[in-house]
Amino acid sequence: MARDSMQYHVVVVGGGPAGLAAAIRLKQLAGENAAELGVCVIEKGSEIGAHILSGAVMDPRALDELFPDWKELGAPLKTPASEDRFLFLTESGSFKVPDFLLPECFRNHGNYVISLGNL
């Protein structure tokens, strides 16, 4: 029995955020250099995002770099993060850490609440 085969220059294993970003950037670089580059993304799920069920807060800097016009393209980032709450949980309750004590990486101003499966 003969097998079908397809030839690619690059095969990216995993269609998560990192794999997709790598594939997109490779194609962009190839286009900028007028190079022919076949890129294939292999994903174990039935479709891209099938295994990503949770929500997240996303810093849009990566989208700004990959797709400067992502807003015009209709990327599904519709809900800006409106506040930050960092809580320490105890057996009997919780207490909030004051915002001024939070490191910069825990502050979500300018970020979006998203579903990674829809991105």
| Span 51-73, average pLDDT | 85
Helix (H), strand (E) at residue 87: strand 87-89
Encode pLDDT of 86-107 as tens digits. Answer: 899 999 999 999 988 988 888 8
Q: Pairing mode, if any, of strands 55-58 and 94-96?
A: unpaired
User: pLDDT tens digit string along 46-56?
Assistant: 877 776 666 78
d(CA 9, CA 29): 14
Q: Can you tell me the distance from the alpha carbon of 41 to that of 32, in angstroms, rounded to the nearest whole number?
A: 20
Percent of the chain scored above 90 by pLDDT?
A: 44
CA distance 111 to 98: 19
Q: CB of 114 within 8 A of CB of 77?
A: yes
